[in-house]
Amino acid sequence: MTKHNLTTPEDSINIEEFMAKYDRESDYRRFSGLDGKIVAVIAIAFSLFQLYTAIFGVLDAQIQRAVHLSFALALVYLLYPARRSWSRNHLHWIDVILAIIAVAMPLYIVVFYNDLVLRAGLVTPTDMVVGTLGVLLIMEAARRVVGWPIVIVATGFVAYAFAGPYLPGVFAHQGTNLEQLVGHLFYTTEGIFGIPLGVSSTFIFLFILFGAYLEKTGLGKFFIDLANAIAGWASGGPAKVAVLSSALMGTVSGSSVGNVAGTGSFTIPMMKSLGYRPEFAGAVEAAASTGGQLMPPIMGAAAFLMAEFVGVPYIDIVKAAAIPAILYFTGIWIGVHLEAKRTGLKGIPREQLPKIGQILLERGHLALPLAAIIYLLVSGKTPMMAALWAIVLAVAASMLRRSTRISFMDIIKGLEEGARAAVGVVIACATAGIIIGVVTKTGLGLKLGSALIDLAHGQLLPTLVFTMVTSLILGMGVPTTANYVITSTIAAPTLVQLGVPVLAAHMFVFYFGIIADVTPPVALAAFAGSGIARSDPMKTAFNASKLAIAAFLIPYIFVMSPSLLMVNTTLPKVLMMTVTSLVGMTAVAAALSGYLLTRTRLLDQVLFFVGGLLLIDPHTITDLIGLLLLICAFIMQRVRYQKQKQPSVSAN
């Protein structure tokens, strides 16, 4: 029998059109001719600047960040038209003029850096004009590449800065004028040129560039084929392939929608061909792809920001995220398996699947840069140095076999594509800087924190629920990076006040900002999955939320017991918590899917759900009660299962 080509989608889609529809950052102009060459030169120069400063030393903070922002603004205004109706093939003269002005605003800081330092906060009329234009052009760039929600949020914060004296109660403050606000936002490192842009201008860019080169080497296809070889034959094989390949892709990608497009164009048609409902097929890929941002070693831009905000090495973030990420993907795997058993879905015949040994022999070397980056981080190298070496190793590893070798033009193209992929993160970080600037200027963070604690009457659990809802709402329209910046500035310190460890508080808001991608009513990853599956978007989103139930539970686990993040714990305690959490998630999955050994009844579902939640709660009493409930439910399932088997046995 002929093997399927498992890296060719059966139900082909135009990836560029698909991404442009569901991911605003992918809806950019694609030039040919002179326009294309100009944009390519700017993008390549952007990447070369970042590589140069990584090799020879980062410039002074404001200069490094200003040059970084200038490159990004140039690319945004040239690549993203002011109106959706404008051509995606030709430049518009308005965008060219705006690009020139936008580039000049941050470069003003570079040119007059010494004068600005000597003036130390004194804002001249020229500074005012440049700073005001700079803030407005960053907001417009955010509207184009990120979307209206983040612009509305940032505008609301700016309005709050001016409205302080007129507000009642705890939210009142002395207010500010335009000169003070512009000086704070544009000419200090507490606003636009603050920590988010600082992290973006150093190692976030390099990790994005690393991802671009891994894509060039064909690592994504390697992951999909490897996942097929490992799990394609099992019950519901293609769905398990989606989970496994998305987990593997998550090690190098920080985009939920990008993961859906990259792996879903192959896995979703396979799932449908074997009998999965379109809504479930799209949901599996959406839930698994969203988990990509939770999977170490590269977890998206927000994880790097977390390392800076928490003040720990990035490798500590990686270690803390490891067990929760494994639990998350295990939860989806269990849900997929139970659905396959419930509906009687089979896997792909083994003879139609590639062999693991052959895949590893032919393309296993492509994963060497991932192993190297983990080693470099563990050995104490900075994230910037680890990313730099990983880029070199990605290119070098591709040269080990003729079939995977990339050309010189691929290397140049990687520089261009890496820069283009980074602009959305850069602009989101700059816009998040506006929000942070207002918070530091007005003390809003403490005010909101106090209000949140008062609303929850000082109780931890209600505060966690309010924080979760806030993160989910923000995540429905604001990218993960900006979402994390806002919630980590406002909500995370509130949790710390209530005794939650700093890392657990930040990881809590990080998780819910990400899981918003599969949470109705705005669930971009689920809508993207439904686009490939040709299914009902809202049904797909609800199915994805059910599959991703672990992500709604795990943050509460590590807040209640930070041992799961490997904070001040022992190996036996971590293992015990992991086992009880896995059993609890299996029970919750059985309740939601309506199946374990056989179809569940209402009483089974209640026992499984309540018992599972009690096991997830990391306390001995709740574990014992939960285990007792699960034993009762399992016995009832076992009895019914044996009764169902008896007729078939006697018939034989």
220, 263 contact by CB (below 8 A): yes
Rounded to a whole number, what is the largest CA-CA distance in the chain?
Answer: 94
Percent helix, strand, coil in the chain (nearest 5)?
80, 0, 20
Quick: pLDDT tens for 510-567: 999 888 888 888 788 888 889 888 899 899 999 999 888 888 888 998 898 888 898 7
pLDDT at site 8: 47
Token pair recorded at residue 67:
């040059």
- First-residue to last-residue Cα distance in the chain: 32
Which segment, 222-236, 466-480, 598-612, is predicted with the most confidence on average? 598-612
Q: State yes or no: pLDDT of 2 exceeds 50.
A: no
pTM of the model: 0.88
Residue 236 has pLDDT above 50, yes or no: yes
Separation of alpha carbons 582 and 627, rounded Å: 12
Q: pLDDT tens digit string along 417-444? A: 999 989 999 999 999 999 999 999 998 8
Share of the chain above pLDDT 90, in %: 41
Band of pLDDT at residue 205, cut at 50, 70 and 90: very high
pLDDT of 121 > 80? The answer is no
pLDDT at 331: 87
Distance between CA atoms of residues 161 and 144, nearest Å: 24
Residue 216 has a CB neighbour count (10 Å cut-off) of 20
CA distance linking residue 508 with residue 558, whole number of Å: 8
pLDDT of residue 198: 95
CB 449 within 8 Å of CB 490 = yes
- pLDDT (tens digit per residue) in 265-314: 878 888 887 788 899 889 998 998 888 888 888 787 888 899 999 999 99
> How far apart are alpha carbons 380 and 401 in whole angstroms?
31
492-523, pLDDT tens digit by residue? 888 998 999 999 999 999 999 888 888 888 78
Stretch 312-329: mean pLDDT: 90
Q: Which amino acid is at 79?
A: L
Query: Per-residue pLDDT tens for 77-95?
Result: 999 998 877 877 888 899 9
The mean pLDDT value for 154-171 works out to: 91
- For a pLDDT cut of 70, what percent of the chain falls above it? 94
Among residues 204, 214, 253, the alpha carbon closest in space to that of 423 is found at: 204
Could you tell me which residue, 75 or 571, shows the higher pLDDT? 75
Q: At residue 3, does pLDDT exceed 60?
A: no
Answer with the residue of higher pLDDT: 353 or 103. Answer: 103
Residue 645, token pair as written in the block:
């088997």
Taking each helix axis from N to C terminus, what angle separates 460-475 and 502-515, rounded to the nearest 10 degrees? 40
Does a cis peptide bond (omega within 30 degrees of 0) precede residue 521?
A: yes
Residue in the structure block whose two tokens are 């020879």: 56
Inter-residue contact 525 to 518 (CB < 8 Å): yes
Given its phi and psi angles, is residue 121 left (phi above 0), alpha (psi -120 to 50 degrees) or beta? Answer: left
Q: Omega of the bond prior to 354 within 30 degrees of 0, cis?
A: no
Locate 517 and state its tokens: 């991608």
**255 pLDDT exceeds 90?**
no
Q: Which of 437, 434, 455, 438 is nearest to 170 (CA)?
A: 455
Retrieve residue 64's tokens.
């490094």
pLDDT, mean of residues 630-643: 90
CB-based contacts of 264, cutoff 8 Å, min separation 6: 242, 282, 285, 286, 289, 528, 529, 532
> Whole-number mean pLDDT of the chain?
87
